[in-house]
Amino acid sequence: MSSLKPEIMFSNITDFIREVTAGREMILGTSSGVDSSLVLMLSVSVDRKRVHPFFLYDRATPDSDFNDIDLLERKAGVTIERINIEPIERSFSGTVVTDSDPRIFGNVKARIRMTILYYFSNLYSGMVLGTTNRTEYMLGYFTKYGDGACDVEPIMHLHKNEVRILAEFAGVPESIIRKKPTAGLWEGQTDEGEIGISYDEIDRQLKSIESSAEGKNVSKRILEMIASSEHKRRMPPSLLDK
């Protein structure tokens, strides 16, 4: 956990958002997960009138997520617009032969969501706020040009356990903080189930890497995820700098 107190961390991030957005409208996707819920609470603390949150759901979205969105909406004091992306998904599936691997279409869903967010960003001349945390960033556990596409990343410096602590301070509903993290890419999908390691253990191992040139007791799975996702943390290669 950061040595900073939650109230200082909260203030630092809201100051950062205020400076970077510079009065522009703030667009973000709220999945009812802890990361996006924290970003929503941070952004409404900056300026509620400039925040435009969207809940982009489909048939794989459980009923509990709708309940959590209702709770979050009341807590944040801002309307969260609900948009069913199922028709877009069906249109894509009817146009392109889709693979049976759910991860491939899961990436499509993430990019559909980001396309919608950028539509509203253009409409309102705003900026898209990202919701990726440091743990996901280091593992590459995000979709390139999907949930990894944004204009500003308010919580990318926070590990998952720090997100939970700050979310509690920010007033995110308890049901959201304690629920199993999921990207909602297919029915029954959970982050920890897909990765195969708990977030607490992932954070412990990542901090071991960050504090040592070699890292101690780091699993092969974590090292492979970091190595294979390096392209996600770099700009596309080109000859501009040659």
How far is CA 150 from each of CA 10, 33, 143, rounded to the nearest angstrom? Answer: 21, 18, 12
Q: What is the set of domains in the chain, with CATH numbers?
A: 6-190 (3.40.50.620)
Q: What is the pLDDT of residues 191-216, one digit of tens each?
A: 777 778 888 889 988 988 887 655 56
34 compared with 95, residue with greater pLDDT: 34
Got the DSSP string for 160-174? Answer: HHHHHHHHHHHT--H
Q: What is the pLDDT of residues 134-183, one digit of tens each?
A: 999 999 999 999 999 999 999 999 999 999 999 999 999 999 999 887 76
Please tell me the pTM assigned to this model. Answer: 0.91
- Kindly state the average pLDDT of the residues 59-65: 92
**97, 193 Cβ separation under 8 angstroms:** no
**38, 17 Cβ separation under 8 angstroms:** no
Structure tokens that stand for 86 in this block = 């199922």
22 Rama sector, left if φ>0, alpha if ψ -120 to 50, beta otherwise: left
Q: What is the pLDDT of residues 220-237, one digit of tens each?
A: 889 999 999 999 999 998
